[in-house]
Amino acid sequence: MLLRGLTWLVLFQLLGTAINHLLLPMLPGPIIGLLLLLAWLISRGEVAQPLSEASSSLLRYLPLLLVPPAVGVMVYAKDIAADFWAIVGALVLSCLLTLVLVGVLMQKLIHRQAARKEQP
Amino acid sequence: MNPDWQGALDAVVHHPLFGIGITLGAYQLAVAAYDKTRWIFLQPVLVSMLLVIGVLLLCGIHYPEYRKSTEILNILLGPATVALAVPLYLNLRRIRQLFWPTFTTLVIGGVFATVACVALGYWFGAEHMILMTMAPKSVTSPIAMLVAEQIGGVAALAAVFVLITGVLGAIFGPALLDRFGVTSPEARGMSLGVTAHAVGTSVALQESDECGAFAALAMSLMGVATAVFLPLAVSVIA
């Protein structure tokens, strides 16, 4: 069952790679695969058992899969050191500003929608 | 006759399985440390990364050799990215009622997060490569890494920036939202998911199920939106 789901995931990614090559060079193949799978799930209206099994097992180990590429930072230590304060400043400020903006905006919009429903 | 210690050590250290071995070991150690302490700074990816770098430096292995021996893990990253469609689809079904507030917030917040970070970085004098790597920092790591590479950044750095952003959001998020009077669980979840992706989602899940569901949804929508529109936007501007 797990293998069947994995096969579907691989198929969707290969399909995405083909489309990336033929039509959409600016979108990475796996992202196109993700969109195709999403469209397929919406049209089917349910997630088949093998697919949900394969995706949840893969996603459970997602952090492990990310370790080798993250280790690549060791090659860029010099670039980070050169721009250290610019990086830290930009990351911290934009993170905190976005956090507040999104929270306040969403809450306002929810209240407005609720108010509109009460007085039709 | 003396046993050839040096030769044996070299044979082990340069064996093709050595890279996989230390990655698996470091990851399990990191997960165990996180489970035990529940300390938000001890993100498993961050800790395993530091452990692996330490071992590589100690053994004098260069990154390309390590990269080559962990190729098999790397190949699985593609299908894992495709698999993100499943949780996204399951979450989409839950939000029909609040579709428009969610959608509007996502567009405004997502654009703001990306533009603010790049503009601040530019203003503080970071170089182009760093800016392109910081742009997708609010997105879950596999997507951010793919996107960063696509627009002229560096995947490895993107993974680290993503982690830093996630940890920051998770640490300061709840207190900051309290201070600004954001009480509805949907809005809190949305905010944590858009800014702090998976790390924020785990914090949101601790607040309530509803908060967690919106965080997971916001995280996956933000990921897909960034993956689709950021490369387009960069290719239009450049």
CB within 8 Å of chain B, chain A residues 77-96: 79-80, 82-83, 85-87, 89-96
Residue by residue, what is the 3-state secondary structure of B6-58? HHHHHHHHCCHHHHHHHHHHHHHHHHHHHHHHCCCCCCHHHHHHHHHHHHHHH
- H or E element in which residue B194 lies: helix B185-207
Q: What Cα–Cα distance (Å) separates residue B123 from each residue in A82, A85, A110, B116, B165?
A: 15, 12, 35, 10, 19
Q: Hey, is the C-beta of A102 within 8 angstroms of any chain B C-beta?
A: yes
What is the C-alpha separation between B159 and A89, in angstroms, rounded?
A: 18
Determine whether the interchain pair A72/B45 forms a contact, defined as Cβ–Cβ distance below 8 Å.
Answer: no
State yes or no: pLDDT of B24 exceeds 90: yes
Task: Kindly tell me if the per-residue pLDDT of B169 is higher than 70.
Answer: yes
DSSP A69: H
Q: How far is B39 from chain A (nearest CA, A)?
A: 17
Q: Is B92 helix (H, G, I), strand (E, B) or coil?
A: helix
Query: Is the Cβ of A18 closer than 8 Å to some Cβ of chain B?
Result: no
Residues of A in contact with B77 (CB under 8 A): 30, 65-66, 69
- Residue A75 contacts B, CB cutoff 8 Å: yes
**Would you state the structure tokens that stand for residue B129, as one six-digit string?**
């490569």
Would you state the pLDDT for residue A12?
92
Q: Which residues of B touch A84 (CB under 8 A)?
A: none
- Minimum-distance CB partner of B53 among A63, A71, A103: A71
pTM over cut 0.90: no
Residue of A nearest to B76 (CA): A65
Rounded to an integer, what distance in angstroms lies between the CA atom of residue B154 and that of residue A64? 19
Determine contact, residues A65/A17, Cβ cutoff 8 Å: no
| CB contact (8 A) between residue A91 and residue B187 | no
Per-residue pLDDT tens, chain A, 120 aa: give them.
788 888 999 999 999 989 988 887 777 888 888 889 989 988 988 888 888 888 888 888 878 887 888 888 888 888 778 778 888 888 888 888 888 888 888 888 888 877 877 765
What is the C-alpha to C-alpha distance for residues A6 and A57, in angstroms, rounded to an integer? 10
Tokens of residue B68, six digits: 């080559």
**B69 contacts: CB under 8 Å, gap ≥ 6:** B16, B17, B18, B19, B20
In this complex, the residue of B82, B89, B130 whose CB is nearest that of residue A79 is B130
Contact between B212 and B189 under an 8 Å Cβ cutoff? The reply is yes
Helices (runs of H) and strands (runs of E) counted in chain B: 12, 0
3-state helix vs strand vs coil in chain A, percent to 5: 90, 0, 10
- pLDDT for residue B211 is more than 70: yes
Q: Are B30 and B55 in contact (CB under 8 A)?
A: no
Question: What's phi and psi for B126, nearest 5 deg?
Answer: -75, 150
pLDDT at position A105: 85
CA nearest to A62 within chain B: B80
Position with higher pLDDT, B238 vs B164: B164
Supply the pLDDT for residue A18. Answer: 92
Q: Which of A34, A70, A90 minimises the CB distance to B82?
A: A34
Three-class DSSP category at B91: helix
Q: How confident is the model at residue B216 (pLDDT cuts 50, 70, 90)?
A: confident
A101/B120 CB distance under 8 A: no
Cα angle: A99, vertex A105, A109; to 5 degrees:
145
Q: Nearest CA of chain A to the CA of B6: how many Å? A: 26
Query: How high does pLDDT run on average in chain B?
Result: 83
Beta-carbon contacts of A108 under 8 Å, excluding residues fewer than 6 positions away, are none
Cα separation, B54 vs B48, whole angstroms: 10
